[in-house]
Structure formats: structure tokens, C-alpha cells
Amino acid sequence: MKKPLFLVLAIIGVLLLSACGQGAGYETIGIDEVAAKQEAGYTVLDVREPYEFEQGHIPGAENKPLTALQSGDFEGLQEDAKYVVICQSGNRSKQASDILLEEGYEFVNVDQGMGSWEGAVE
């Protein structure tokens, strides 16, 4: 009797986990997938403030602070480019991703941030 209940709970758990991040309307990736996305032609879009960006960022990244996006400033972003959106911890990138989704940009969100990045920085 316990096996069927366990199986049902396991299936529900898997469905809930697979729904996380997908309901937002965009893909969310782990920090370990950033380099592969760069190799596939994505540009890293760092949405931290300029002083944070200057302290160290992923090589080749562009800086467009969340505050700029929130005020409607999309200058410098290419409509036909693909972006990997990253911040310090994952919170601002989610907010930026919500904005970029509304504006029609192609991107993936990083669920972690530069605080978890172990690769090279410039």
C-alpha cells in the first residue's frame, strides 16, 4: 500500500520540479551552462550596476544594469542577438528577464550569479 502512495508523491514532485522556471516563459540555466551558451553564440548580459561590473565580469560580457532596463533604456541591445542574463545572485537577472521577455528579446536566465562563477573574469 505504501508503494503506490510513494510513486504518486514521486510523480507529483517530478512534475512540480520540472515546472519550476518554465512557467515564466523563458529558459533558466545553471551557472555551469554559461560557457556553452557563449560558444553557441549567446552574449552574456550582466545586469549588475556598472561599479559591480567593473569589479569583475565574464569575458565578453556586456553591461546593461537592471535599473536601466526598468526605466526603458534598451540602447545597445540588439534585437537579433541572443543573451545570457546574469547578475550577482540571480534575483536581478530574473527581474531583467521578465522585462526582456515583454520586449521580445531572445535570452536565457541564469539562476545563480557572479557570486557562483568560478571561471575567468576581466
In a domain, 13, yes or no: no
CATH number of the domain bearing residue 54? 3.40.250.10
In a domain, 70, yes or no: yes
In a domain, 105, yes or no: yes
The two beta strands, 106-110 and 62-63, are unpaired
21 band by pLDDT with thresholds 50, 70 and 90 = very low
Structural domain for 88, as ranges: 26-116
CA dist 67 and 20 (Å) reads 26
The residues with which 27 forms a beta bridge, in sequence order, are: 108
Which three three-digit cell numbers place residue 88?
A: 550577482
Count Cβ atoms below 10 Å from residue 66 Cβ, excluding itself: 19
> What rounded mean pLDDT belongs to the chain?
88
pLDDT of residue 2: 53
Q: Catalytic residue positions? A: 87
- Tens-digit pLDDT profile for residues 51-107: 999 999 999 999 999 999 999 999 999 999 999 999 999 999 999 999 999 999 999
